[in-house]
Chain A
Amino acid sequence: MDGPAIEMRGLGHSYNGSPVLHNIDLTIERGEVFGFLGHNGAGKTTTVNILTTLITPTHGTALVNGYDVITDRRRVNAHIGYLPSEVRMYPHMTARENLTFFAELSGVESPNRAVAETLEYLDCSELADLRVGSFSTGMRQRIGIAQAIVHRPSVLFLDEPTAGLDPAGIRQLRRTILDLNADLGMTVFMNTHQLSEVSKVCTTIGVLNHGELIYKDSMEATMRRFPDEMSLEDIYVRMGGVPA
Chain B
Amino acid sequence: MRTESRRRILAIAHHEMRAATRSGVLHALLGILIVATAGSVVIASAVYASRLADYQAYRAAAVAGGVTRIAPSPLAPLSLLRGAFEYIEIIGSVIAITLGYLAVSRERANKTLPLLLSRPVSAVELAAGSFIGALGVIATLAAASATVAVLSVGLIGHDWLNLTQVGKLFLAFIAAIVYMATFYSLGAYTAASSKAAANGLMVALGIWLIVVLLLPQIGDTLDADNQIPGGLFAALGLGHDGEVQILQHFATYETVRTSIEAASFAKHFERFAFAMTDVKERYRSLSFPDLLLQVRASIIWILIYAVTLPALMIRAFRKQPSIPQGANQ
Interface residues of chain A, those whose CB is within 8 Å of chain B, are 15-16, 20, 40-46, 49, 52-55, 74-75, 77-78, 80, 82, 84-86, 88-93, 97, 101-102, 104-107, 147
Contact = CB atoms under 8 A, between A and B. Distances in A.
B329 A45 contact: yes
A140 B148 CA distance: 44
A120 B120 CA distance: 25
A155 to B, nearest CB: 11
B329 A43 contact: yes
B121 A49 contact: no
Contacts of A102: 115, 119
Interface in B188-215: none
Residue among B8, B22, B329 having the largest count of chain A Cβ atoms under 10 Å: B329
Contact of A16 (B8, B106, B326): B326
A88 to B, nearest CB: 5
A84 B115 contact: yes
A105 B110 contact: no
Given A54-B322, A82-B118, A107-B8, A90 B329 contact: no
Contact of B15 (A16, A101, A106): A101
A93 B19 CA distance: 8
Interface in B88-115: 106, 110-112, 114-115
Interface string B1-38: 00010011001100100110011000000000000000
B117 interface: yes
Contact of A77 (B112, B118, B321, B328): B118
Residue among A52, A82, A86, A105 having the largest count of chain B Cβ atoms under 10 Å: A105
Contacts of A52: 114, 118
B47 interface: no
Contacts of B115: 82, 84, 89, 102, 147
B7 A104 contact: yes
Contacts of A45: 328-329
A78 B18 contact: no
Contacts of B118: 52-54, 77, 80, 82
Contact of B8 (A41, A86, A104, A147): A104
B287 interface: no
B307 interface: no
Residue among B118, B119, B321 having the largest count of chain A Cβ atoms under 10 Å: B118
Given A77-B119, A102-B119, A105-B119, A88 B110 contact: yes
A91 to B, nearest CB: 7
Contacts of B110: 88-91
Contacts of B15: 101
Contacts of A101: 11, 15
Contacts of A97: 18
A20 B329 CA distance: 7
B62 interface: no
Nearest to A77: B120
B20 to A, nearest CB: 10
Given A101-B15, A107-B7, A88 B119 contact: no
